[in-house]
Structure 1
């Protein structure tokens, strides 16, 4: 009996414990998940935007001959600096010489006929001063023949000038001050016009002045300050920094939804080369405002970019486009406005219309 009492007391103590029994059914907690909500902020844009740029020649011309012929003499080579009007290539075309001789012969023949007709008309006109010596019909016919022969002579003279112009095409001159960057023929080669699908004889570029081309994204087209100088740095030439004004813009968006602007860059020493890449810092209008959200509020996938707006406790997936990005926030464009509530730490697991508690 004495041994039974301690065991009984232990049993009563276990039955009076306030601990709840463990749930061994395996059912999960169905309490609602809590979401962190933020708002879209509107702040002033950064004072500048950095964009890549590429140098291009200010002018570029592929030089083709205007007539077919053989290359007689080449006066330049790749790298030659030339002046406007400087002789580059002379061609020879024997058929043009033959055409010129034929045209000159026909012109001289027509000129003699015209002079004879004119002399005959003058003699008949003098003779007609005596009444009845020359009929009016003969006089009119002589005048008509004189005019016809004169027109024929003038036509032959125009033909001679036309062949001479073709002969001038056998000398090729520089269209502007520049540098020969390609030479594709040698002396004695048969050259043809661009219609024949041949390579140009020469490629000349104006390198003493270059165009720096920058593609401005659509979101910043109206925010660029055209009255302030841009800062230019070149990858291949560390330490070179230029301050230049924007020279011109395309005033049209291209296929990549960007607008091309150009900055004229002087290059008399030819230190800069077409094709070089650089970075341009473009000032933006100080009055421009931007809609900003935390970086983690944007959901990115291969198909879309969106934020999750919270309206009356429900999720609304709203497509956006990204702009400038800082360490903790990103500029966005889309169907959003300042003060809109958005889901922070958003994921694509949240579906359209889901309740957010």
Structure 2
């Protein structure tokens, strides 16, 4: 029994010694071999196109505040807020009782002047006929009659013009739409007293043409001369997220405002009437730089809390090159540092690649 126990102890000691003699497997070679499959690129030099994000606001393509031309009362109003109207459509009828008397007085003066002119013309004709007999009419009387006829004819023209002017003023009592559009404000009702207004006064009606809108963007002074007019502007609206639109800049003010910015406009079609004046959007204005810059792919830049760098490949070794970033594009970035055109760099670089590491 005791011999059997000694044999078991000796067997356990032998097995323990064998297990401690095993060595760990070295995986470094496998990791190194796997890490040598690098993707490379080159530093290029070109003019970098970029963009700036700016807010924009939709405005109606045409908008007008409708006022009364003369002091009058609203007799009839044919539209309300939201009414779609056509050019020339009668929107409201006004009444001014004193206008009828003014029209009648102007017509009466015109008729009086015309009758006086007819009498002068007839008198001159008769004197001229009588003057055919020598000594019947003096030349002075004939000249006076001619002058009186011409003066009366001039009065007729003046009174005719005055009567037409009064009739035109009377036509202002009918308020008509100056263009196709929609009534967005109605501020009066029948019986209201209205009259000529200033810009600060409340209009009778506000008419907007919203079939096409203007997207107004204010370009800061520092970007004014860098806007690339050959590229389309892209924009999205906060009320319609996810739908990107593109269009060319339609017009610009060519002048800076008090805020040191230039207003540009983009025409936006609105056939479905989904867009409304006053909506805000985010606009990407394409820019182009005047000078050529060194460009690297975005995924070649390694960023840490201490530095920014790219990894150059020089004589098969990894060499860190510190950089400073300039304007960033969607796929490429402008860089400044110890680089030159044609330098070979690592793509998808990371800080796991050590300086001096062999790159094959």
Aligned to 2:252: 249
- Aligned-residue offset at 1:288: 5.1
Which one of the candidate residues 103, 116, 124 is aligned to 1:100? 103
TM-score by length of 2: 0.67
Aligned to 1:261: 264
Aligned to 1:113: 116
Aligned to 2:243: 240
Instruction: Report the secondary structure of 2:258's partner residue.
Output: coil
CA contact (8 A) 2:86 2:180 kept: yes
Question: Distance between the aligned counterparts of 1:238 and 1:66, measured in 2?
Answer: 44
Q: Is 2:282 the partner of 1:279?
A: yes
Instruction: Report the secondary structure of 1:71's partner residue.
Output: strand
Instruction: Report the secondary structure of 1:98's partner residue.
Output: helix
Aligned to 1:33: none
- Cα deviation code 1:307-330 (max 9, x no counterpart): xxxxxxxxxxxxxxxx9689xxx9
Q: Is 2:138 the partner of 1:135?
A: yes
Question: Distance between the aligned counterparts of 1:261 and 1:112, measured in 2?
Answer: 61
TM-score by length of 1: 0.68
Which one of the candidate residues 204, 221, 238 is aligned to 1:201? 204
Question: Distance between the aligned counterparts of 2:55 and 2:103, measured in 1?
Answer: 56
CA contact (8 A) 2:49 2:288 kept: no
- Aligned-residue offset at 1:198: 4.1
- Cα deviation code 1:212-247 (max 9, x no counterpart): 111222222221110111111111112322110011
- Cα deviation code 1:19-56 (max 9, x no counterpart): xxxxxxxxxxxxxxxxxxxxxxx996562222221111
Which one of the candidate residues 167, 170, 182 is aligned to 1:164? 167
Instruction: Report the secondary structure of 1:256's partner residue.
Output: coil
Aligned to 2:80: 77
The alpha-carbon distance between structure 1 residues 48 and 288, as it changes in their structure 2 partners (threshold 3 A), is farther
Structure 1's unaligned 5+ residue stretches are: 1-41, 298-322, 332-336, 340-357
Which one of the candidate residues 200, 224, 229 is aligned to 2:232? 229
Question: Distance between the aligned counterparts of 2:115 and 2:154, measured in 1?
Answer: 13
CA contact (8 A) 1:192 1:198 kept: no
Q: Is 2:90 the partner of 1:87?
A: yes
- Cα deviation code 1:62-97 (max 9, x no counterpart): 111111111111111111111222111111111111
Question: Distance between the aligned counterparts of 2:204 and 2:260, measured in 1?
Answer: 37
Question: Distance between the aligned counterparts of 1:197 and 1:259, measured in 2?
Answer: 25
Aligned to 2:311: none
The alpha-carbon distance between structure 1 residues 169 and 271, as it changes in their structure 2 partners (threshold 3 A), is same
Root-mean-square deviation (CA), in Å?
3.1
Question: Distance between the aligned counterparts of 1:106 and 1:296, measured in 2?
Answer: 93
Aligned to 2:148: 145
- Aligned-residue offset at 1:287: 5.0
Structure 2's unaligned 5+ residue stretches are: 1-44, 295-302, 307-325, 339-360
Instruction: Report the secondary structure of 2:288's partner residue.
Output: coil
The alpha-carbon distance between structure 1 residues 231 and 288, as it changes in their structure 2 partners (threshold 3 A), is farther
CA contact (8 A) 1:245 1:263 kept: yes
- Aligned-residue offset at 1:338: 8.9
The alpha-carbon distance between structure 1 residues 157 and 236, as it changes in their structure 2 partners (threshold 3 A), is same
CA contact (8 A) 1:223 1:284 kept: yes
CA contact (8 A) 2:57 2:216 kept: yes
Instruction: Report the secondary structure of 1:194's partner residue.
Output: coil
Question: Distance between the aligned counterparts of 2:280 and 2:199, measured in 1?
Answer: 35
Question: Distance between the aligned counterparts of 1:166 and 1:157, measured in 2?
Answer: 14
CA contact (8 A) 2:50 2:327 kept: no
Which one of the candidate residues 183, 191, 194 is aligned to 1:191? 194
Question: Distance between the aligned counterparts of 2:57 and 2:211, measured in 1?
Answer: 16
CA contact (8 A) 2:72 2:94 kept: yes
